[in-house]
Structure 1
Amino acid sequence: MKLTHLWPFGVVGLIIAYTQISHNALFTTLGSLTNSRPVSPEDSAVRYTVADLKVDTTLFTQPRPVATLTDASLVEASGLAPSPTSPGYLWTQEDSGNANQIQLLTKTGDVSARYILDGLINRDWEDIATGPGPVAGKSYVYVAEIGDNDFKYAQKIIYRFIEPTITGKKLPVTEHITSVDALRFKLPDGPQNAEAFLLDPLTKDLFIFSKGNYSTVYRASYPQPVNQPTMMTRVLTLPFEKVTAASVSSDGSEILLRTYKKLVYYKRHSRESVVDALKREPLLIPLADEPQGEAVCWAGDGSGYYTTSERTFFTTQKLYFYQRKK
């Protein structure tokens, strides 16, 4: 019998030994099984376990389907972001192998505009965000080229450009984006797969969340050099399996982090850093049962949040809204 046939028994043994080893040691062992970096004590400040999280039903309503995404060219929505320049609209992008474009959605799920990012290839665009950038008073779109299922790419790239507007234009719009900043990053522990990132609207720092049996959080402080690879800083490890999306409210006070099946909520205190907010135990909040949920974002007016899933052969692609209760 080949030794590789014994690995399932080893995993069972790890689970049985959970009570005999430390929380950090368990993460370290799981990391070695998934080709991820072992966790070091200095960045393991989070001590809760997902099973112990408190479920909150007082802040937001249960999911309400508000649209079905029926556009034939939009089947793998992998990110959502509110549009500051077109209130009520949502930006989305597709992931690996799809066109090098982003779409602007109405609340009813129609594609009102497409913008092609000239000269770029969609190797694996996994998330999207909007917020401030280098020019004061301007809104920017950030597209995250961070997917890496095979752990083979040395750099993460976040594309940044001034948000286009549909004001005064006949819909649907199809236009090209010709001026794009490429923010290039390396991770201190080598190539990692990731599908979620955050832009802190208060500091303009960028955060990437790895995807695996746990999530390592990396930070790039503002200002980030353009077209020059810089090393991100590993700041935290979170006990969430397969993180697929993240979002922060426009005022920076609320953070969402989702996996395929769970959504957690953090309230950020005044003058508190994103990292310090993420160190606290979050709340579990409502999330629709989506077939492959990889997108979440706050509504631009703070009235709630949206989620959607990639389309599968057997399901439609619905857009859900969760109304704030208070």
Structure 2
Amino acid sequence: MSLLRNALTVTAVTLLSLAGAAVPAGSATAITLPQADPPPSPTKLFTIRDARIDESSGLAKSQKYEDLWWTVNDSGDTARVFGINNTGKLKAVLSFKAPVKDVEAVAVDKDGTIYIADIGDNKADRDMIEVYTIPEPDKLADATSVKFHRFDFKYPDGAHDAETLLINPQSRQLFFVTKVAKGLGGIYAAPETASREGTNELTKIAEGPAGVTDGTFMPDGQVVVLRSYVDVARVAWGEAPKVVGRAGTPLAQGESVAVASNEGNSILVGSEGKGSAVYEMAVPAAKAGTTSPSATPTPKNAAADSGDTKKSHNLRWIIIGAALFAFVITIITFPPGRRERLDRMAENARLTGQAPPNEHPRRRTPAA
């Protein structure tokens, strides 16, 4: 039976190794993140109905007003930020005179300063990205020509597209998460104290999930939630941030995520487009055994990625079929126990002085 066991072992190893080799490079990191949980019964909180907010790309909880969040329009809009309450009603529009290119994110620090991130770069050709700051107003009302400050930043490894700005709630340090269609993005840290003089050099501190469209620190500063088109990822923050859990969301073209309350028990998720809905849902739970970031799913309309997946699937089955065919041929050619049985008969004949049986055909000695 040793021959059979060897054949089984070789075939099993071949199947595993070849099937693994059929998976395209870059589809996951060394340790794969568990599949996203189904949406944990999210609740629709409100709908953004004001026609001026037609491409909401980012959401941030106000520190000065209860039940108020700030949002910005995607590229193509002017330099302005919108305040909406928990019914979706527009409460204030704050405008400032800055030559923005592609605003993609908004965040608010613990002191009530609003950060507007002009960080979009679809062509990856910007020398610098900018972040503008304005104060939360003392009164909720429309304002024009709001005083602002500008901070310039530069990546250490060339231009990147990004849609996510994070602010540590304790230190107020800024972090940027780049956006890639597949594979792994990057998490970059600004200097602990950003300067308005000159350009602030960013430092890459970790890899991040793919397709990140927004993110937020939770109030304790220990957890970050990153948003993609199709799900949200829980990130354990620290010297080496890592994804430790995921959950699906009910929205297509997901573009925003924010803390729902200063208690940090839940998050709000939204999408772009006119009349877009905002849902409240639980923060994804951490899952055991996850030790590194992993790529999140590519948007379902990514035809190229779908084609690669189909080709990989077909190739895997072809390889598995070939390995099974080889196994069957091995069993037919070398029936289990045949060689061992002939060897035992020959040994018994030698010990008893009887004529030995015919040798195994593969062992016959050529005639002189």
Q: State the TM-score bracket (shorter-chain normalisation).
A: 0.7 to 0.9
Confirm whether residue 322 of structure 1 aligns to residue 281 of structure 2.
Answer: yes
Query: Which letter does structure 1 place at the counterpart of 2:254?
Result: G
Structure 1 segment 179-190 matched on structure 2, within 5 A = 179-190=147-158
Gaps of 5+ in 1: 1-15, 31-45, 133-137
Q: Note if contact 2:127-2:154 (Cα within 8 Å) is conserved in structure 1.
A: yes
The structure that is strand-richer by fraction is 1
Match of 1:110 in 2: 89
| Counterpart in the other structure of 1:48 | 31
Distance 1:246 1:195 in 2: 9
**C-alpha offsets along residues 267-291 of structure 1, whole Å, 9 cap, x if unaligned?**
45xxxx3x43x23x4111241232x
Question: What corresponds to 2:214 in structure 1?
Answer: 245
Q: Distance in 1 between matches of 2:160 and 2:52?
A: 29
Q: Give the direction of change, closer, same or farther, for the CA distance of 1:17–1:203 in structure 2 (3 Å limit).
A: farther
Larger Cα Rg: Structure 1 or Structure 2?
Answer: 2
Structure whose residues are more often helix by fraction? 2
The structure-2 alpha-carbon separation of the partners of 1:265 and 1:325, relative to structure 1 and needing over 3 Å to count, comes to closer
Change (3 A) 1:47 1:236: farther
Alignment partner for residue 127 of structure 2, among 148, 154, 164?
Answer: 154
Please name the residue that 2:65 is paired with.
Answer: 86
1:63, 1:286 within 8 Å by CA — same for their partners in 2? no
Q: CA deviation at 1:183?
A: 1.2
Residue number among 66, 77, 93 corresponding to 1:98 in the alignment:
77
In 2, the alpha carbon distance for the partners of 1:17 and 1:181 equals 56
Question: Displacement, 1:156?
Answer: 1.2
Task: Tell me how far apart the structure 1 counterparts of residues 251 and 135 of structure 2 sit (CA, whole Å).
Answer: 34
What TM-score, normalized to structure 1?
Answer: 0.74
Q: Does 1:73 align with 2:49?
A: no
Cα distance change on mapping 1:237 and 1:66 into 2, 3 Å: same
Q: Which residue of 2 aligns with 1:304?
A: 266
- Out of 125, 128, 142, the residue aligned to residue 106 of structure 2 is 128
Asked if 1:198 is matched to 2:198, the reply is no
Q: CA RMSD in A?
A: 2.8
Size of the aligned set, in residue pairs, is 266
* Distance (Å, rounded) in 1 between the aligned partners of 2:210 and 2:268: 21
User: Structure 1 residues 295 and 18, CA, compared in 2 at 3 Å: closer, same or farther?
Assistant: farther
CA distance in 2, matches of 1:194, 1:229: 18
How much has 1:185 moved relative to structure 2?
0.7
Equivalent residue of 1:252, what SS?
coil
CA shift, 1:76, in A, is 0.4
Identity score, percent: 24
Aligned residues of 1:144 and 1:197 also touching (Cα < 8 A): yes
Q: 1:190 to 1:252 in 2, by over 3 A?
A: same
**Cα distance, 1:56–1:19 mapped onto 2, change above 3 Å:** closer
The answer for unaligned runs of 5 or more in structure 2 is 1-16, 286-368
Matched with 1:8 is none
> Do the aligned partners of 1:204 and 1:221 also contact (CA within 8 Å) in 2?
no
1:261 pairs with 2:244: no
Cα deviation for residue 20 of structure 1 reads 4.7
Counterpart in the other structure of 1:234 = 204
Query: Could you say what secondary structure the match of 1:243 adopts?
Result: coil
Distance across 2 between alignment mates of 1:194 and 1:177:
27
